[in-house]
Amino acid sequence: MIIFPAIDLKDGKCVRLYKGDFNKITIFNPSPYDQALKFQKKGFDHLHLVDLDGALQGKPKNKDIIIKILNKTNLNVQLGGGIRNLKQISFWIDHGVSTVVVGTMAIKNLKSLEKACNLYPGQIAVALDVRDGFLSTNGWIKQTKIKFLDFSKKLEGLGVSKIIYTDINRDGTKTGVNISQIKKIINKVKIPLIASGGFSSIEDVNQISALKKLHGIILGRAIYDGSIKIRDLIKISD
């Protein structure tokens, strides 16, 4: 299982949201690059990077910071946030992103998603952000009536490398992981799953790491505030 420490970018800073609410932002580091370097020095190989400004505006807004992280660290970067077309996907892969994460684009245009997967096999992941069982788009601002599991099944056969499942109601809350839902997804969806939202302790991580089919997890607030110690995570991470 891969552990992805998360950096969310807002106004050039490293932040965390509470339940996806842009009015409830905590700044954890004014320098996202320094934070990425810290993660690398602590022993992480992977990074989940999200351009929150890009997600809201529909196009990447923190390019310079992202490119600096790509050029000056050795991290395998999984990047999402405002990536809505093939041109943007190509740009980021050309600049060294290991996995491009699309969400709104996937929900609105499955044909474009399939084309991207064919052009960049193994490098396209889909972020499915879920609130009360239904998908949200546009930086979690717009709520759809699309059921998460129904849509996940539609992605099978398109070449999607991973699904990133985020429980919005738990994200940033440290209220615990929705283990039963994650088990349900793993059993019903063939695409490898990365889980995010609600991690509060190393016990949460140990519990979910026992799910052998789980590809990885994304951790944010709990590692920033020290609830989960990085030294304990390195022992678990692949």
In degrees and rounded to multiples of 5, residue 125 shows phi and psi of -115, 155
DSSP three-state, residue 23: strand
Which of the following is catalytic: 129, 167, 171, 204?
129
DSSP string, 83-130: --SHHHHHHHHHTT-SEEEESHHHHH-HHHHHHHHHHSTT-EEEEEEE
Q: Cβ neighbours of residue 150 under 8 Å, at least 6 residues apart?
A: none
Q: How far is CA 78 from CA 48, 92, 175, in A?
A: 5, 10, 25
8 catalytic? Reply is yes
Task: Name the percent of the chain in helix, strand, coil, to the closest 5.
Answer: 35, 30, 35
The residues annotated as belonging to the active site are 8, 129
